[in-house]
Amino acid sequence: MYASTIASDTAEVAVVWFEDAAFEGWPAVTVFTVSNDGGRWVVVDAREETVAPEPAR
């Protein structure tokens, strides 16, 4: 898990999943969009990806 995009009040966090025979066909990566809501980070969206994005610098 790592941040792939960071802005002042939003970020994208990529979660790279390990392959497992029990979960064939599942996405390789889920990217969660989070937003700062009064000092706490809240997930506001998620998308599935086949390739992991680059980490934020």
The reported pTM is: 0.86
What whole-number distance in Å separates Cα of residue 4 and Cα of residue 45? 14
pLDDT tens digits for range 22-55: 999 999 999 999 999 999 999 999 999 999 999 9
Task: Write the pLDDT tens digit of every residue in 11-30.
Answer: 999 999 999 999 999 999 99
